[in-house]
Each structure stands twice: as structure tokens, then as C-alpha cells.
Amino acid sequence: LDYFLIYGPSLKHILYRYTELTGRAPVPPKWSFGFWISRCGYKTRQEVEEVVREMRARGFPCDVLSLDPWWMGDGPWCTYEWDEERFPRPAEMMAELRRQGIRTCLWITPYIPAGTPLYEEGKARGYFIRRPDGSISPVLEAFAGRDLAAVDFTNPKAVEWFLSHLRRLLDMGAAVFKTDFGEQAPADALYHDGRSGLEMHNLYPLLYNRAVFELTRQYFGRGLTWGRSAYAGSQRYPVQWGGDSYSSLDQMSTQLLGLLSYGMSGVPFCSHDVGGFDYPPEAFDHPRQEDYPRDPVVYARWLQFGVFSSHVRAHGKQPREPWQYGPEVEAIAHRYLSLRYRLLPYICSEAVRSAQAGLPMVRPLVLEYQDDRSTWNIDHEYLFGESFLVAPVTSRDGRLSVYLPAGTWFDYWTKTPVEGGRWMDIQAPLDILPLWVRAGSIIPMGPEMDYVDQKPCDPLTLELYGPADEGEYVIFDEERPAIAVRYQRRHHQLLVQVGPAPGEVIVVLYGAAVRQASVNGRPAALEPLAQGTQVRFDGRQEAQLLLELA
């Protein structure tokens, strides 16, 4: 038994050293930060194409459609073979989705059902987990089937055999795999490398997700999974999500608790099922659960929370497409998903910083304000990256108490500055997620789009909130050149320097009045906004914006 003592005293430093030991998370592909739509589950090609057609017709941005196991037909699963009666010409289908800006995610497990040719092949080659007497150690997982064998990921030949079936699916057009399960590794087993089932039980999902992640990394250049089970070090193989939850506000609250706790375990990238996976708890007293009414309040509040998580996927037994919840919730969903896509320059930049430092994108307040005792027990609000403070609403009446740490914060919706170091009682209507921006922040935003990289980041909008003294922000955009933004405030002048951008740059200043502006020494027009002022200029070359403050 080995012990590691990691002394901070800063919690941030502890996470940095812990991930130095167990591994840092790579930054997932940029498109993974878009919206994922899913359901348990889409069962025909026609259904998939209707959902995508409706998504685009209603103007919703979306990057990934996830198919649960029915892409293989009815269970038991997993065979890694398309049911081409329900999904005829799957390569053609995925290519057509891709032309519309949508990638395909396929559900898999590492369990192979008895009675299939794949099972007989794996059994004959010794690729499954076995008992000490040589018999196959069965997996207890009723959802996928009742007679299952688990791939032995300590056997390199078994791993390559397993991945050969996934590689064929990638060749057909799949982009990512939902690596479900992995937590049922039998405890009575003896693995290929000699370790016992008890020794391997927690390691099994790590090895499972590592194999799939590395395959996608080799195939695409950047790796990705959508996994459920994990262990220390699983941050190296993002992304994981919070597993099955009921569709209720209290279950949304517990998913937030899990997200905060998981992030404090060195994991920057994780998610949850927007709307909840299962039916509302009350549905289990209903004679037909599938007919139980969908809850628009739960969906709207959960989607707001999801938009301000590292990754956002709507998924559940009931339909999770936004228009399924009525016109009001559809409008709310459109507003927040559009905002998510506009915030991609910020989200992708914070992803890089989080990966480098071993910090979660969803951060408990105590991680940033460790010396403020008021933050020690706060578990219902969080920081999204360095600048946003988010307080998801988990009550039906929209009431909640929010703590703002010391300093100045700007209400994101009204741009009103508020002094922190105090609690606030909030009444949030259904369309409002309580949201603040830390003073001094630079928030980069792009244009609205239907899918990630549909168009260049033109215009690039830079929102500055109450800048004082100096600040800087580097915008990271996958393989494209980084854009450095700096400001210096001296008395009644604010100098903003912006590195070369793809096109037009719009600088928006909140928290200070502006008398006049110049760009590279030439006068620039001021455009007044509610609570702010903006200036536009050609940003294709490095620019210096000088603002004369009132």
C-alpha cells in the first residue's frame, strides 16, 4: 500500500500536484464543446433524420447526435454491428449528418453477449475475463443482457481485437463512442496479466476508456470518449458524464454536487444528462411511464446548468429535444444554446487553462476563495472557468440565496455592478439563470452558428467588465494561432491591445463611461449600448484601441 502526501496549502496547488502524479487531461476536440442531442433511444434512421431536420429548421445549434444501443437492433448487446433494417446504409446516413454539421456518437459496452459469433470468437481466443478455473467470469448487467463476457483489457491481443471492431465503425463515419458501463468487472476473476478481480475492479473502466480514447486519438489526432465509469487518472481520457438520474430538480441538484466533487478530484471535463435520464419519480406510479407528462421546468433549469458545464448533452428516456417542452421552453433553450455557441472562444480557452493546471472548468467557490470561510460549505453555485459565477436554480418557485465573494461582480443580464462579500436573495424567472462576471474579466465571444467552426470567428467580440489597472487574456482556438488581449488603465485612459484576429473585432466596455476612442491613432466611432459602449475595427492586424474615459 503506497501513500502520497500532497501538501498545498492551496487547494489549487494540491490539484496541480495530484494531476502531475496521475496525469493531466488533454483538451478534447473543439466540436465536443457544442451541443449533443440524444435519447434512450433513437431506433430508426428515419427518426434520426427527422430529429436533425427539425433541429436545423428550428434554428438550434447542434454538433453531435448520440445513438444508444438500438443502432445494433434489440438486445442483448454489444455486437458492434449495425442493424441495417432499422438503419439502412449507415455510412450514407452518417455522411449526410456530417454534411449538416453533426457528428455521430455510438453507444458501446465492453461486454459481449453469449450466443453471438463475436462471443464464440472471443471465447476461443481467450479474450474474456476468466475465473481461476478457466471458465468465463460472467458480468451481472441486466440492461445489456443476462449472459455476458467482459473483454480482458490486460491482454494486448484482446484490446486490439476489440478495437478492430470499433475501427471499422470509425471508417464508416462514426466520430466518437459512448463508452457505457465498465463498473461491473467481476470480482472473482483472474486477469490475463495475473491480477485478481479485486485488484482490477476499479482499474477496469480506466483501461476500457483508455483503449477507446487512444483509438480516437490515433484516428483523428485528438481523443475523446463519452464515458460513465472512472477511476483515479481517468481525467486522461475525457469526457465522463454523471450517469443515470431521475428527471427532477433534486436530482439535478445531486448532479451538480457530483460535478463539483468530481472536479475536485482532478477532472476538468465532465457532464450530465440535461433533463435527467429516467422518468420523473412520480411517473413510477403511473400505469404507463412513457405517457407521463414531460416537465418543462426541469428541462429549462437543467439546460441552463448544462450550458455552463464543460460539455452539454440532452439525454433521457423521454424525448429531450427542446421543442418537446412547449414554446416558452423552446425559446429559453434557443437563447441559452445560442449563448453557449457565442461563448465558445471563452469555453475553449478555459478548457486549455484547466487542462494545463489540473483545474475543473466547473469549480467550487472554495477552490478560488479558500480563505473565505463562507465558501467552505457552498455546494449549489460555482465558477465556470475563471470569470463566470453560476447559480443554477433547483427550486420550482425560482427562489435561491447566492453568495458573491469579495470584489465587484457584474450581473450578466443587466450589466449592473454588485459588490460582493455578501449573500443575496434572488427571485429568478424561468428564463433567467443567475449569472455574474467577475470585474476585470475579458470575455471573448464569437458569432452565432449552427455548429462549431461553421464560420470564422468574425466578428470577435471582447467584453470587458469594469477593467482596473491591467489584465490580459489569451484566446486559444485548437490549431489556430492564439489571440492575445491586454488592457492597461491609467487614470482616465484605457489602452486595449488585440492580436491579429480572423476579421472584425468589437470591444465592449461595461462599468465605465467613454468620451472618445481611437484605433492605432485614428478616431473610432463609439456605439452606445445599454450599460456600456462598443467600438468596432478591422482586427486582421494587431490593433491598439485607446479609450478616453469620462
pLDDT tens by residue, 361-404: 999 999 999 999 999 999 999 999 999 999 999 999 999 999 99
Query: Cell 443502432 appears where?
Result: 71
What distance in Å separates the CA atoms of residue 63 and residue 59, rounded to the nearest whole number? 13
What is the reported pTM?
0.98
pLDDT at position 505 is 98
Segment 114-152, tens digit of pLDDT: 999 999 999 999 999 999 999 999 998 888 888 999 999
pLDDT at position 274 is 98
Q: Is 96 helix (H, G, I), strand (E, B) or coil?
A: helix
Mean pLDDT of the chain: 97
pLDDT at position 30 is 98
Report the catalytic residues.
Answer: 180, 183, 244
Tell me the pairing of strands 382-384 and 388-390. Answer: antiparallel
**Section 265-276 average pLDDT:** 98
**Section 328-339 average pLDDT:** 98
Please report how many Cα atoms fall inside a 13 Å half-sphere around the Cα of residue 61, on the Cβ side: 28
What is the 3-state secondary structure of 425-491?
EEECCCCCCCEEEECCCEEEECCCCCCCCCCCCCCEEEEEECCCCEEEEEEEECCEEEEEEEEEEEC
DSSP 227: B
Strand order in the sheet with 145-150: 111-113, 145-150, 139-141
Segment 143-202, tens digit of pLDDT: 888 899 999 999 999 999 999 999 999 999 999 999 999 999 998 999 999 999 999 999
What distance in Å separates the CA atoms of residue 112 and residue 149, rounded to the nearest whole number? 5
511's torsion region: left (phi>0), alpha (psi -120 to 50) or beta?
left
Grade residue 1 by pLDDT with cuts at 50, 70 and 90.
confident
Grade residue 429 by pLDDT with cuts at 50, 70 and 90.
very high
